[in-house]
Amino acid sequence: MRSSGGKTGFEYYLNQIPPCPDDVEIPERASLEMEVVYFGRLFCFHIPVDKMREWSIDVASLRTKDWIPARDFHHSQFKVLAEEIRLLTQLV
């Protein structure tokens, strides 16, 4: 799949696999991921579809989540934690 040597996103490879009957989306069980930054800390909440309806959120207008490879995700999380640890050690 990578004979060209180029790096291709996860979505490209996922789109190569046709959906099967077991790949069912249940709209009633959907959730909205909301990220909140509070005092420099990132918090992530998953809001049920019922709350989205109560809040009149237009789901179609929201930005979709970008999928990134697990290796890149964990590396970015490690960099954030390493920076936090470095800052904390300076306080001591």
pLDDT, tens digit (0-9, with 9 covering 90-100), for 35-69: 899 998 889 999 998 888 898 988 778 887 777 77
Confidence (pTM): 0.45
The residue-averaged pLDDT of 60-81 equals 82
If we measure between CA atoms, which residue out of 11, 3, 2, 1 comes closest to residue 67? 11
The mean of the pLDDT values for the chain is 81
Q: Please, which residues have CB within 8 angstroms of residue 31's CB and are 6 or more apart in sequence?
A: 46, 47, 48, 49
